[in-house]
Structure 1
Amino acid sequence: MVGLALLLILAYGEVVHGVFVWDDTYVVEKNLFIRDAGNLPDLLGPAYFDRAETGHYTRSGEQSYRPVVTLSHFLDHALFGRDPGGYHAMSLFYHWGACLALAALLLALGLGRSATVAGTLLFALHPALSEAVIVVSYREDILAAAAICLALILHLRGRTGSATCAFLLGAFSKQSAVVFLPLVVAADWLRCREGASSATGAFGAARRKQGRAWVIYAIASALYSWIVLVLLVDPAVGPASYPGGSFASGIATSLRVLARYVSLIVAPIGLQVDPHFPPSSGLSDPWALASGAGLLLLVLAIARLLPPWPGRFLGLWFFIALAPVAGLYPLPNYIAERYLYLPMMGVCGVAGWGFGWLVRRSRGERGASSVPWLALALISAALVFVDRARSSIVQSEEAFFREMIRTNPLSVKGHEGLGSALFGQSRIDEAVRVWEQAVSLGPNSPIAHHNLGLAYLRQNRRVAALGVFNRALQLQPSFVESRYQRAVLMREEGDASGAETEQRRVLEINPNFIPAKFQLAYLLDRRGDTSNAIALYQEIVAVHPGYAKAWKNLGVLHLNKLNDPDAAAVYFRHYLELVPGDPQRAMIQRVVDGTASR
């Protein structure tokens, strides 16, 4: 255990000096939800998907129901505040825990110590899994896989109730854990075929006990599916489409994706955070046919060369665990390295079994040969080297997205992210160039157009900004950020009526978009509708007490429009607590002190 921890620190230790990257921005870095323990009850209800605090992203930062992962971020914030190093350290800790869970499972399956050590080492260090380790928001794959290992161990020990709880823990980390029941069925069936029926109770009462366990797992799976597909869903997420636009093209693409995964397992080179992988046109695609033939040969090899238990079970694990992301139903992202995390456990189990076989074969009259162990040490050293290089890309957002573009020059997301990193450093001209490339590469990306509009505004190119905001809204009329920015430009150009109409449209799309409420309240005040302006400001501070400008404007309106200095002082006091360094503090403080002295 300690040795494995030290090895992981050697491979991934640099991540503790990393920053939040990519999806971490809204899942963790800008997530107000995880900063308040009072929000914990909202993990269990529809409020999990509210957008009141962000306008665009859900409160949890997730688009599907994963409360266990979000709870882990609550814990991160309680321990480390907003320090990304602590979050990265926790992800590495969870990866270590998943490695230990796999080791325990391999021992429970009957693999010897040598096989378990080899399989666990390969899993711990394989670079294809590094994405889940180095990106905080992708720890969902780690948690789900660790829970599935625990659930299988408990099932093998006949503890059905505890196994069900472990399965649900994994499922509420990520949906890929639904493969637990198929894995259990495969395990029980193959154990029987190996001839271990007398030990495992494959017949009679023990067989009935297995059947009862399957029924319980099926009920738990159905209940989970009802919760995440019907009861607790993000209403803003629409259905995805198959790659290529049809089921046939989706299946053809999936065959190529599976072949790509196999190649990454065998030779983890050319790793890409945002892979360039065009979909197939249909089942006649020769690359899809070749991929399908290769996968069929792989299945036949598993059936031919491996014993039913545990070899074939571990071989089947790879295909069973990939089923949720195999294209049988459409997904927003049909290929990602992190999808390999759970399937790789089966692959590493097979590799461990093979290593154990080599160790046994290498034993001679003079004892065991050191050749297999030397080979394992060399492979581990090479994997550590690759992992250290991969970990370095999270040292800054700029480095992360430059690596994404290096490995995939056509990545729209890479250019969008690099532009954001440069924009955040006030390198506006560079951000404009990168975002213009993003628009060129992704002419149908509303986010790329919106970001470019923000950069144009910083360059005071208002006409150009309005043009790309309009284009973003043509592509996605419900894109509230671009509609909001267009309304602000209209107000600044003197079209108060048009701006008010646009802000009301924003709030029709998303009633909880606070910046639009603030702008609408300002516009209402300008045209003399003080009471409704005050009502909107009060709605803002009720939902978002940290919105300082709303407190200040409430104070100003009560002081100047309602002639109520006492109420104004209350609002100003809240404002000064949030913005103690306001240049007008002395004047505001006089209002507060004047009411206090009366």
Structure 2
Amino acid sequence: MLLWCLALLPVLAAYANAVDVGFMWDDRVLIEQNAELHTLHAPWSYLTRSFWQHAFLHGQGHAFYRPLVTYSLALDWAVGGGSPSWFHVTNVGLHLTVCTLVFVLARRRGASGLGAMVATMFFGVMPRLTESVTWVVGRTDVLATLGALCAVWLAEQKRGRWFAPFALFLALMAKEVAIIGVALVFADAALRVREKKSSPRDELPMLGGMVLAVVAWWLFRAQVPSNQPLRLHDAQTFFAGLGHYAWMTLTPWNPVAQIGFVLEPERWAVALGVVATVVVTALAFKWWRSATPWRALWLLGAAGGVVIVSVVVLTVYTLASDRFLYLPFALSAVVLAQWRWPRPALIIAVVASLALAVVTWKHNELWANPLRFWTEVKHTSSPKNPGALAGLGDALYDLNRFEDAKPLYEQAEAQRADEAHSPTRLSLASVDSRLGNDAAAIARLDAILRAEPDWKRAAYALVLFHARAGDFVAADQALKNARARFGDDDVLQSFAKMLEEVPPKFGSEQVIERARGLHALEATRKAEREYLTLLDDPAHRDEAAKWLVIFGSEASARRAVEATGDAAMQAEYDDRFPREL
């Protein structure tokens, strides 16, 4: 118990600041903007939903099937009231549970207490795993690993083994990489029979349950529609992916998002991938012939997790992602724990783990600042990677820096020009609308809706775009069209209320009323022009200055700070326009 606590303490300390991170990356779309997630439904209702299939994003879903993850997110929203901190508490709790299973499984396989402690600690504080733990929707790999390890542990119990198929079923409902857990359960059962620790009669019922769990998962999975078929990498791209994962394993202290570029596999990565394949195969063969052959099977299981994500690809651009190493690292930690640690090596490993905990803490601080995070991603990824370009564009958009976001969206869209569905097109239309380029914004959106009439988010945006242009008749018609196609909901009701309240302000002779009306419509640059005229009005100077510092362009925000000399406004300005970036 003491060694287990000592193993988890650095992990808990490393992720203590994760609760300060907001919603990041796909969290915004999958959680914050997903109205369907904000109401908790019966668990079984999620079995027929795609992970991305909420119509507010796009009509039909992607090929991702993660019902357990979706349910867990809805449950977090219900319990935490939508607070990002609660989601992060859940993620850290799940990670600590996986660490506990790593410790328990290592001990059951003969590791010393100190060996299990060091391996668990090393796994728990690994900076590369922040993408799985600190990023909320990165919990897909955590839940899959948790279920797979639970299945392995339960399969070894005399009384609890009947729950192993259920644990495996839940793991698959989190992510398909959990299929590695099936292979491990079968391999461990075969070894138990081989070593006379069990009999086929004892193992077959449980293994049959495993098969049924996989079949049940596949049948549910087949019911979910997808507009995104799987594709397979060619050999060069496959080995380049393996090479990146090998390098990421050798440099666990340097987490990076958006690694590699599918269309440009590097030669060094291809070569390293080939070398890694040879080394892992040779090591597995050596261990298979040793007194502990299970280590070979677990090593191959860890490698298999990497192979799965390196062979099969959806419409993505990166060759590798840190979060895909979560399951392989967990399995490797159990194997690593078996090493007979000399005292000097033990001390070095503990010190290294504590150092990695500090790196993880620092990287969590980066996750807490989207602008810094995506700036680093853009600098470390391929200049042709639309995900990195759009990610930085989104970070700038959220800071109301639309002039800076637009060229990034344009670059991202240039890389996505051949795609049938590109979210960047809507981002470009939104930027034009916020900048006051009404005709261009509406033209972009009309083109989007002609191609994708079921894109609910785009249909909703059309209401706002017409209102920002001052055409409230067209806005009302767009609202009626949206209600006719999608039905009424809270968003459309709020739009209807807005269309009743804003028009009088929009045409008001009072500048402050026009400014407030334009702000209510998020016609940001039009509102900016009105608020700028109020900086010389003592009655409204403070309101205008505060608005300009938060929403205005850099020049207008600087003018507001200079007009007031307010320290808090200066700090807000520095956050929006950091000099070092």
TM (norm. structure 2) is: 0.74
- 1:207 is matched with which residue: 200, 213, 217? 200
CA RMSD of aligned residues (A): 3.7
Paired residue type of 1:267:
T
Which residue number corresponds to residue 126 of structure 1? 126
* CA distance in structure 2 between the partners assigned to 1:438 and 1:550 by the alignment: 34
- Quickly say closer, same or farther: Cα 1:315–1:478, change in 2 above 3 A: same
Sequence identity percentage:
21
- Quickly say closer, same or farther: Cα 1:8–1:45, change in 2 above 3 A: same
Unaligned runs of 5+ residues in structure 2 are 502-581
* CA distance in structure 2 between the partners assigned to 1:480 and 1:337 by the alignment: 32
Matches of residues 202-351 of structure 1 in structure 2 within 5 Å? 206-228=199-221, 230-231=222-223, 233=224, 235-243=225-233, 249=234, 251-268=235-252, 270-279=254-263, 288=270, 291-305=273-287, 307=290, 308-327=292-311, 329-333=312-316, 335-351=320-336
Note if contact 1:252-1:280 (Cα within 8 Å) is conserved in structure 2: no
Which residue number corresponds to residue 575 of structure 1? none
Say whether 1:425 aligns with 2:374. Answer: no
Which residue number corresponds to residue 409 of structure 2? 435
Say whether 1:358 aligns with 2:305. Answer: no
**Deviation (angstroms), 1:39:** 6.1
Tell me whether 289-298 or 107-116 shows the greater mean CA deviation.
289-298
Cα deviations by residue, 1:173-211 (Å, 9 ceiling, x for unpaired):
212112222112222334556xx32xx12xxxx123223
SS of 2:227 mapped into structure 1: coil
Note if contact 2:180-2:301 (Cα within 8 Å) is conserved in structure 1: no
* CA distance in structure 1 between the partners assigned to 2:53 and 2:281 by the alignment: 45
Unaligned runs of 5+ residues in structure 1 are 244-248, 360-369, 501-514, 522-534, 556-598
- 1:388 is matched with which residue: 354, 357, 361? 361
**Deviation (angstroms), 1:372:** 2.2
* CA distance in structure 2 between the partners assigned to 1:548 and 1:417 by the alignment: 28
Which residue number corresponds to residue 594 of structure 1? none
- Quickly say closer, same or farther: Cα 1:255–1:186, change in 2 above 3 A: farther
- 2:374 is matched with which residue: 378, 401, 417? 401
Which residue number corresponds to residue 526 of structure 1? none
Which residue number corresponds to residue 169 of structure 1? 170
**Deviation (angstroms), 1:436:** 3.4
* CA distance in structure 2 between the partners assigned to 1:516 and 1:375 by the alignment: 69
- 2:21 is matched with which residue: 1, 10, 18? 18
Matches of residues 443-592 of structure 1 in structure 2 within 5 Å? 443-444=417-418, 446-465=422-441, 469=445, 518-520=479-481, 536=484, 540-541=487-488, 543-544=489-490, 547-550=493-496
- Quickly say closer, same or farther: Cα 1:441–1:281, change in 2 above 3 A: closer
Number of paired residues? Answer: 490
> Which of the two has higher C-alpha Rg?
1
Paired residue type of 2:405:
A
Paired residue type of 1:309:
P
**Deviation (angstroms), 1:432:** 2.3
Paired residue type of 1:520:
N
* CA distance in structure 1 between the partners assigned to 2:250 and 2:51 by the alignment: 40
- Quickly say closer, same or farther: Cα 1:224–1:382, change in 2 above 3 A: same
SS of 1:239 mapped into structure 2: coil
Paired residue type of 1:317:
G
Which residue number corresponds to residue 506 of structure 1? none
* CA distance in structure 2 between the partners assigned to 1:546 and 1:489 by the alignment: 14
Note if contact 1:103-1:116 (Cα within 8 Å) is conserved in structure 2: yes
Note if contact 2:392-2:408 (Cα within 8 Å) is conserved in structure 1: yes
* CA distance in structure 2 between the partners assigned to 1:47 and 1:276 by the alignment: 27
Cα deviations by residue, 1:273-307 (Å, 9 ceiling, x for unpaired):
1123334789xx78636622431232112322573
* CA distance in structure 2 between the partners assigned to 1:486 and 1:549 by the alignment: 11
Paired residue type of 1:210:
E
- Quickly say closer, same or farther: Cα 1:474–1:291, change in 2 above 3 A: farther
Which residue number corresponds to residue 58 of structure 2? 56
Which residue number corresponds to residue 578 of structure 2? none
* CA distance in structure 1 between the partners assigned to 2:297 and 2:391 by the alignment: 41
**Deviation (angstroms), 1:404:** 1.7
Paired residue type of 1:164:
P
Note if contact 1:271-1:407 (Cα within 8 Å) is conserved in structure 2: no
- Quickly say closer, same or farther: Cα 1:335–1:475, change in 2 above 3 A: farther
**Deviation (angstroms), 1:388:** 1.6
Say whether 1:43 aligns with 2:46. Answer: yes
Cα deviations by residue, 1:46-69 (Å, 9 ceiling, x for unpaired):
5987645x25278xx986332322
